[in-house]
Amino acid sequence: MKNEIIDSIKAYQSGKLVAIPTETVYGLSAPIDNPKLIEKIFAIKERPFFDPLIVHVSSIEMAKSCCSQWPEIADELAKSFWPGPLTLILPKAAHIQDTITSGLDTVGVRCPNQRKTLELIATLNAPIAAPSANKFGRTSPTSIEHVKKEFSPDDVYFLDGGVCDVGIESTIIKIEDKVLRFLRKGAITSENVSSIAKRFGFEIRFGDDQKIEAPGQIKHHYMPNIPLILVYDQTPQNACELAAQKLNLKAQDGRELALSTDPVIAARTLYSKMREVAQLNGKFMFVVIESRYKNDSLWDAIIDRLTRASTFIC
Ligand code: TXA
Ligand code: MG
């Protein structure tokens, strides 16, 4: 077996968390049956306890062991999209601690599409809970270097799996009575699941009617360390001037967050570009989006992250 998998398991045993690569973003992980380490996740991320963690598994069987119900549609979604960027929210099994679920009676489970992390979970033979490996509210990490900038090797073992392929966090779907509820948009889109929903007689809805608590739901999230202004349908020059005016700053202090016109590439590079642009000695950054992009589900997920990361929108 690879040394880094053994070293990761040793790290857990010595009281450290393990930064895990996934296809979406890096996670900061602990075995679900280690309450001390689970608490350490919240402590070093400075994350409030009301924000529940996703449980990562290496098989459908393992996911089932975390849930008190596993409806047929869950099985179908898992078979179709796992390993992959999809988190399913289901009623939790009794052994899943309240710290992981923030006291909710549901749990989020996901099987990530990343060889090393799957090997770690399978070797441990137990699920691991992991939020994204960034300080609470800040930009998510898509390379191990991003994680190393925010956390100390005294607290975290760094498992390097290269650059994340998808680049934005998993789609979160809560499975309710005849409803698939999208709590967070991501690379698995409503179009992707619509035929399964139809076959099982489920409706697709977005957001939460009750009050949730989901990650993206928090307005200021994914924030870079200088203000980000989201501007629709302008040339970069106009966008920069508009943003500068609103911020009472000079246009020369603006830096453009220029995204690819291909949403797959834009998602993959979003967070690393945000970090790069934040280092360019500007006083603010701006991003120009064409409003017609909203018709595309992956762009919609990217715009969701940009909206939450932005100080304001013009
Ligand atoms: O792609 C991802 O999902 C990444 C990688 C590491 O797997 N993880 C991630 O974790 O984005 P995090 O903690 O940054 O966002 C997970 C969100 C939480 O903020 C939480 O609101 C939501 O998932 N969540 C977890 N359990 C939930 C539950 N039982 N009900 C509703 N939302 C839940
Ligand atoms: Mg996060």
Instruction: Summarize pLDDT for 16-55 with one digit per residue, the tens.
Output: 999 999 999 999 999 999 999 999 999 999 988 888 999 9
Antiparallel, parallel or unpaired: β 203-206 and 179-184: parallel
pLDDT band at 221 (very low <50, low <70, confident <90, very high): confident
**Alpha-carbon distance 108 to 86, whole Å?**
10
Q: Is the beta carbon of 134 within 6 A of some atom in ligand 1?
A: no
Q: Is the beta carbon of 121 within 6 A of some atom in ligand 1?
A: no
Quick one: which atom of ligand 1 is closest to the CA of 20?
A: 6
Q: Which ligand is nearest to the CA of 170?
A: 1
**Alpha-carbon distance 305 to 216, whole Å?**
8
SS3 content of the chain, % helix, strand, coil (to 5): 35, 20, 40
Total residues belonging to the chain = 314
Amino acid identity, position 110: R
pLDDT band at 257 (very low <50, low <70, confident <90, very high): very high
The residue to which tokens 């790290």 are assigned: 11
Q: Whose alpha carbon is nearest atom 17 of ligand 1?
A: 215
Q: Is the beta carbon of 208 within 6 A of some atom in ligand 1?
A: no
**pLDDT at res. 137:** 87
Is the Cα torsion angle 271, 276, 279, 284 positive or negative in sign?
A: negative
Nearest to 247 by CA among 312, 301, 185: 312
Spatial neighbors of 45 by CB under 8 A, at least 6 apart, are: 28, 131, 134, 135, 136
* ω into 35 cis (within 30 of 0): no
- Note whether 156 and 16 are within 8 A (CB): yes
Q: Whose alpha carbon is nearest atom 12 of ligand 1?
A: 131
First to last CA, the chain: 53
Residue 44 CA, ligand 1 centroid: distance in Å = 17
Task: Tell me: pLDDT of 14 over 90.
Answer: yes
Antiparallel, parallel or unpaired: β 128-130 and 54-56: antiparallel
* pTM, 2 dp: 0.95
Q: Which tens digits make up the pLDDT trace of 179-199?
A: 999 999 999 999 999 999 999
| Tokens encoding 194 | 């619509």
**Alpha-carbon distance 227 to 234, whole Å?**
19
- Note whether 263 and 302 are within 8 A (CB): yes
Q: Is the beta carbon of 139 within 6 A of some atom in ligand 1?
A: no
Q: Which tens digits make up the pLDDT trace of 121-164?
A: 999 999 999 999 999 989 999 999 999 999 999 999 999 999 99
Spatial neighbors of 242 by CB under 8 A, at least 6 apart, are: 229, 231, 234, 314
Q: Is the beta carbon of 107 within 6 A of some atom in ligand 1?
A: yes
Amino acid identity, position 281: N
> Residue 59: phi, psi to the nearest 5?
-155, 165
**pLDDT at res. 197:** 98
Q: What percent of the chain has pLDDT over 90?
A: 90
**pLDDT at res. 217:** 55
The 10 Å Cβ neighbour count of residue 210 is 5
